[in-house]
Amino acid sequence: MLCKPIFSVDIHPDGTKFATGGQGEDSGKVMIWNMAPVLREEDEKNENIPKMLCQMDNHLACVNCVRWSNNGLYLASGGDDKLVMVWRRAAFIGPSTVFGSSSKLANVEQWRCVTILRNHTGDVMDVAWSPHDVWLASCSVDNTIVIWNARKFPEMVTTLRGHTGLVKGLTWDPVGKYIASQADDHSLKVWRTVDWQMEANITKPFSECGGTTHVLRLSWSPDGQYLVSAHAMNNSGPTAQIVERDGWKTNMDFVGHRKAVTVVKFNPKIFKKKQKNGSSPKPSCPYCCCAVGSKDRSLSVWLTSLKRPLVVIHDLFDKSIMDISWTLTGLGMLVCSMDGTVAYLDFSLDELGDPLNEEEKNSIHQNIYGKSLAITSTEAQLSTTIIENPEVLKYQQERQNSAQANSGPGGAAPESSAPKLNSVMNGESLEDIRKNLLKKQVETRTADGRRRITPLCIAQLDTGDFSPALFNSVPILPSGSSMSSQLTPQLSSDSSPGQASSMGLKPTHDPMLTSPPPNNTAKPLEDNNDGVKSSLLLTSASKIEPMKALDSRFTERSKATPGVTAAISSTAGLTPLDRPKDGVTAQKEAKTKEETSSDSEDKMAAINKNLTFGKRKPELLLDGGEVVEKRKKGRPRKDKMAASMAQPFTQPSKVVAPPAPVAVLKLPTPSTQKAFSLQVSMEPSVFLEVENEVSMVAGSKLSQLRCSRDGRDWNTLLPSSVVVAAGSSDILAVACEDRMLSVFSSCGRRLLPAIQLGTPASALHCSAHYVMVLTAGATLSVWDVQKQKALVKNESLLTILSGADTTVSQSLLTQQGVPVIGLSNGKSYCFSSSLETWTLIADKSDSLVQCADFRSCLPSHDTPASSGPLAVMQGRNLNNIKCNKETQEYRYWLLIYARFLVNEGSEYRLRELCKELLGPVHKSAATSWEPTTLGLRKRELLREVLPVIGENLRFQRLFTEYQDQLELLRNK
């Protein structure tokens, strides 16, 4: 078989196109195809309807997986070149002609790579978008799974380590709570998304498995109840193992394939039995539908309501099935194979049943999980809802705008703000520029006398009018990505070869898809012009022989470059020069050349693989993560050494402090810098500059502290190097290496006598007129400088530092002088001076927090910039905030809470919130309603909450109701 394998297929969520990934000519290949010609014969025959929309050969090696994001805006591809690429469609500029090739080969759609995700050290085998496109997961033969922040590529969220073999498949729980992976290490692992730790490790059904499949694409059922693995074994027969969500039980499997199962794919729809006319409408249990593809070249489709498969199609392909994709309607399916073909199957409602609509599906989820990520905002239905209130319309539009601005990757990319093409060109047309380019371009000479040209930038990236259509890069559509089409399974025998080729998806037969077919005698008309020229060229017939020699010159890399083996020239598309006589032979020659070199390449690759395996082994024994762990631990130890300074080998420049009392130093201390500066306050603007060891007086080094407040400076000298400094608009504090803490007013007056700390300072904070010190000995002190009083006195953190590994990840001081400590275990505490105890304010691992998905409601762009100190902690409960006396915090979290309720669709709770904020419209003595909370007027708060409510059309009535009442009250 000439065809290059197709490893992956995925149908776009809108069903109009699909992507394939696989091996191209010496590169990986991603192609986007039009769905219509696959679905309808008349579209297939219509030459005006393009079949191929875009091809991208940017992957350097075979593409193992292509996946559309759920919103359909992005395509992710992962390949043997260790990369994950994320593609986005560039603004439509019409089919672009590729330079030097016939216009028919142009990419109809322009997809360009917006992000390259580099982290894997081995082939990327599978990629998967999480529900709602929050994350993108990729797995690799480097035994890891990487979770990428899909809202902020190329940011990595985490790496999941634990597999000891090549990870070959990934699937997200539709509820968003888990991700499951299957690997060659005879295991299927389920990971929690809340803390990215392993939830379950299922090994038993895989103990007999050999690593014989290229991929292990497992799948999670749309109701979230079942996870079905690829290749598993039961009584030495290949199966697809069913894993129940409840307890991860493995009692059932799909049996019958003769060879290993490579791919399992659940239909996205949940079905219920079709009600036959006349029969009594008795309620039947909803069921799921699952397709299983195997190395035995056959495909089986199962309904969870049936004990036997719905249909089995044998010998669908010549080689192993590699991937399956269902249409979103649940009635169509594309299957791709190693043999380089893709088959389309469609089903009728009679066969599968009635698909539940989104509302019904949501209610199933609601019943099982309460609220889950899988619950889709039923915008499809809501889009038909009439907007009754102009205000609501406004908020809807705002929401859409911001959604567009923030949606997914690239949205946040800096290039997105790049100026448009014409602004770059200063109004000059490209033609004008080209006319004068030679004169205008800047040419200089380098130091060694070489010419250096500064190229003229004619467009910045992502101006939208870019085309990935590469110079001459639509090469021969060789065997690589051909497709045959087989219609419904029942009709599969009908799919005569004639039909398949008339589909035009078999390149060797179709001029639409192939670039000049080698055996094509009819030359395209466009070539006529060249024909004239080439006949000119051919005037001296004797030159034909040397032409062959010349041909090789096109492809041989210059000698100067080391490490280059022969480059392969493409064989099809012979030039007019060598076609007449030597065409055929040249072609043959080249072909054999190609084969041999690709052979050697294979060998090379094999060797590489062996090498990488060899490399991996020791790591495997060491268990990778441990090494990193050690490094991390190494750091504090160093600090400890530096801090105690008893060792003779500490840096000689350091001032020897009075020997520190022997204390267990729990917290790391910052290392001393030569100089640093920081802005401690914006309004008024106060800058602090520290320069250590500026001068030497009587053998001791002095450090200088300089402060500039609204342009006025003062400075002072300190006898020891400053380690940490902090300040607020009122006060400044510095802690030195000699464990002295000095506090100054912002004008440079010493406010407190120098305070001797027990252990070196680990963190120092100032806020208003409060100073907080966290010492390396894990004690906390807070002073009120104004009242010259200690609020917290050497309070030990040991009570909250439970467990050996817990460390302080964050600390801060509120404007009210309340110290807040965030720990690495996700808990946050504040020390209440009135209760004289630590109070828990947030706990990441709290089961309540785990269940609550309010985190998804956090406006992503707000979180990092949020001014509220608690925003960086995991606040949980409004009451906590109240007890922290933080008015801004309260407001912030109230809005988050409202957004959460809006997203959740909980009208009942929203109404209660609004009611509480609005209070009684008519004054009555009986109410105990307080018009303010924490000094904030509740009705003002309601005014802020309402726009949030207005964003969800579902609540437009509620919005109107409260909007009107607020208006009413204002007019009173």
Partner 1 sequence: MAKVQVLNVAVLDNPSPFGNPFQFEITFECMEDLPEDLEWKIIYVGSAESEEYDQVLDSVLVGPVPAGRHMFVFQADAPNTGLIPESDAVGVTVVLITCTYRGQEFIRIGYYVNNEYTDPELRENPPLKPDYSQLQRNILASNPRVTRFHINWEGLADKMEDSENVDPSPNISGMFPPSCIPGKMPHLGVMPDNSMDCISTSAM
Decide whether 488 or 612 has the Cβ nearer to partner 1.
Answer: 612
Decide whether 252 or 412 has the Cβ nearer to partner 1.
Answer: 412
As a whole number of angstroms, the distance between CA 944 and CA 337 comes to 55
Q: How many residues are given for the chain? A: 972
Question: Which tokens in the block code for residue 84?
Answer: 């994950």
Decide whether 114 or 941 has the Cβ nearer to partner 1.
Answer: 114
- Taking each helix axis from N to C end, the angle separating 907-918 and 887-904, rounded to the nearest 10 degrees, works out to 150
As a whole number of angstroms, the distance between CA 937 and CA 247 comes to 49
User: Closest approach of Cβ 575 to partner 1, in Å?
Assistant: 6
Rounded to the nearest 10 degrees, how much is the dihedral formed by the CA atoms of 406, 410, 415, 419? Answer: -60
User: Closest approach of Cβ 516 to partner 1, in Å?
Assistant: 5
Decide whether 447 or 698 has the Cβ nearer to partner 1.
Answer: 447
CA 294 to chain centre: 30
Decide whether 572 or 774 has the Cβ nearer to partner 1.
Answer: 572
Question: Which tokens in the block code for residue 191?
Answer: 């990971």
User: Closest approach of Cβ 187 to partner 1, in Å?
Assistant: 24
Query: For residue 235, which amino acid is it?
Result: N
Question: Which tokens in the block code for residue 177?
Answer: 């709570």
Decide whether 529 or 651 has the Cβ nearer to partner 1.
Answer: 529
Decide whether 499 or 598 has the Cβ nearer to partner 1.
Answer: 598
User: Closest approach of Cβ 473 to partner 1, in Å?
Assistant: 6
In the numeric block, the tokens 């802005």 are attached to 679
Check if the beta carbon of residue 737 is closer than 8 Å to that of residue 776.
no
Decide whether 121 or 234 has the Cβ nearer to partner 1.
Answer: 121
- Taking each helix axis from N to C end, the angle separating 390-406 and 938-950, rounded to the nearest 10 degrees, works out to 70
As a whole number of angstroms, the distance between CA 345 and CA 326 comes to 9
Decide whether 570 or 704 has the Cβ nearer to partner 1.
Answer: 570
User: Closest approach of Cβ 588 to partner 1, in Å?
Assistant: 16
Which residue, among 464, 507, 501, has the nearest Cα to 486 in the 3D structure? 501
User: Closest approach of Cβ 139 to partner 1, in Å?
Assistant: 18
Decide whether 414 or 659 has the Cβ nearer to partner 1.
Answer: 414
As a whole number of angstroms, the distance between CA 638 and CA 82 comes to 36
**Helix (H, G, I), strand (E, B), or coil: what is residue 585?**
helix
User: Closest approach of Cβ 59 to partner 1, in Å?
Assistant: 7
User: Closest approach of Cβ 482 to partner 1, in Å?
Assistant: 18
Phi, psi of 960 (to 5 degrees): -60, -40
Which residue, among 362, 366, 416, has the nearest Cα to 91 in the 3D structure? 416
Decide whether 614 or 803 has the Cβ nearer to partner 1.
Answer: 614
User: Closest approach of Cβ 464 to partner 1, in Å?
Assistant: 12
User: Closest approach of Cβ 153 to partner 1, in Å?
Assistant: 14
As a whole number of angstroms, the distance between CA 679 and CA 689 comes to 9
User: Closest approach of Cβ 556 to partner 1, in Å?
Assistant: 8
User: Closest approach of Cβ 634 to partner 1, in Å?
Assistant: 17
Decide whether 207 or 555 has the Cβ nearer to partner 1.
Answer: 555
Decide whether 569 or 933 has the Cβ nearer to partner 1.
Answer: 569
Decide whether 247 or 614 has the Cβ nearer to partner 1.
Answer: 614
Residue spans of beta strands (DSSP E) within 150-277: 156-160, 167-172, 178-183, 187-192, 198-202, 219-220, 226-234, 237-244, 252-255, 261-272
Residues forming beta bridges with residue 300, ordered by sequence position = 292, 312
Compute the chain's Rg from CA coordinates: 34
User: Closest approach of Cβ 627 to partner 1, in Å?
Assistant: 11
Check if the beta carbon of residue 381 is closer than 8 Å to that of residue 424.
no
Which residue, among 157, 207, 154, 205, has the nearest Cα to 179 in the 3D structure? 157
Decide whether 307 or 451 has the Cβ nearer to partner 1.
Answer: 451
**Helix (H, G, I), strand (E, B), or coil: what is residue 257?**
coil
Burial (CB < 10 A; 0-12, 13-18, 19+), residue 189, is: buried
Per-residue 3-state assignment (H helix, E strand, C coil) for 634-655 = HHHHHHHHHHHCCCCCCCCCCC
User: Closest approach of Cβ 138 to partner 1, in Å?
Assistant: 16
User: Closest approach of Cβ 719 to partner 1, in Å?
Assistant: 43
Q: Residues near 607 by Cβ (< 8 Å), separated by ≥ 6? A: none
User: Closest approach of Cβ 615 to partner 1, in Å?
Assistant: 5
Decide whether 537 or 872 has the Cβ nearer to partner 1.
Answer: 537
User: Closest approach of Cβ 581 to partner 1, in Å?
Assistant: 14
Peptide bond into 174 cis (omega under 30): no
Decide whether 552 or 860 has the Cβ nearer to partner 1.
Answer: 552
Check if the beta carbon of residue 126 is closer than 8 Å to that of residue 184.
no
Distance of CA 315 to CAs 10, 258, 319, 323, 363, Å?
Answer: 22, 12, 9, 15, 40
∠458-463-469 over CA atoms, to 5°? 75
Count other C-beta atoms under 10 Å from residue 282's C-beta: 7
Q: Residues near 345 by Cβ (< 8 Å), separated by ≥ 6? A: 299, 313, 332, 333, 334, 335, 486, 487, 488, 489
Decide whether 84 or 345 has the Cβ nearer to partner 1.
Answer: 84
User: Closest approach of Cβ 619 to partner 1, in Å?
Assistant: 9
As a whole number of angstroms, the distance between CA 481 and CA 21 comes to 8
Question: Which tokens in the block code for residue 589?
Answer: 């020659």
